[in-house]
Amino acid sequence: AQSVTQPDIHITVSEGASLELRCNYSYGATPYLFWYVQSPGQGLQLLLKYFSGDTLVQGIKGFEAEFKRSQSSFNLRKPSVHWSDAAEYFCAVGAGGEAAGNKLTFGGGTRVLVKP
């Protein structure tokens, strides 16, 4: 069965500093990987996704993520955070294929706080 681990429950970062959120997955084949962001009381918005090809993926809002097969990781990064980046971030993995449908397995989330 697939699983996703986000080791950091909370991260506090100063505005303008860089941010890296960790994501480790467990899946037998090539995974489909996603990062979503959730503002308080809202739904989730897709930041970026990786299916194949270039292992460095660019997303919206200045975020990027790097797929490292050898480490089973898909870490999210942003060079300089803005106060509006304060939110909860979720990594997710999908199995692919008709039988699996589009079911995703989500990590527990990392809440990001931005200090002025």
Partner 1 sequence: DGGITQSPKYLFRKEGQNVTLSCEQNLNHDAMYWYRQDPGQGLRLIYYSQIVNDFQKGDIAEGYSVSREKKESFPLTVTSAQKNPTAFYLCASSSTRWNNSPLHFGNGTRLTVT
How far apart, in whole angstroms, are the C-alpha atoms of residue 79 and residue 102?
A: 31
Nearer to partner 1, 3 or 14 (CB): 3
Kindly report each contact of residues 16-19 with a partner whose C-beta sits within 8 Å and lies 24 or more positions away, as own/partner: 16/80, 16/81, 17/80, 17/81, 18/77, 18/78, 18/79, 18/80, 18/81, 19/76, 19/77, 19/78, 19/81, 19/85, 19/112
Binding status of residue 49 toward partner 1 by CB under 8 A? yes
How far apart, in whole angstroms, are the C-alpha atoms of residue 14 and residue 29?
A: 38
CB of 116 to partner 1, least distance (A): 26
CB of 10 to partner 1, least distance (A): 10
Binding status of residue 98 toward partner 1 by CB under 8 A? yes
Binding status of residue 59 toward partner 1 by CB under 8 A? no
Backbone angles phi, psi at 70, to 5 degrees: -65, -25
Binding status of residue 89 toward partner 1 by CB under 8 A? no
Of 26-45, binders to partner 1 (CB under 8 A) are 32, 34, 36, 41-45
| Residue selected from 17, 56, 60, 100 as contacting partner 1 according to rule CB under 8 A | 100
Q: Which residues bind partner 1 (CB under 8 A)?
A: 4, 6, 9, 32, 34, 36, 41-46, 49, 51, 90, 92, 94, 96-98, 100-104, 106-109
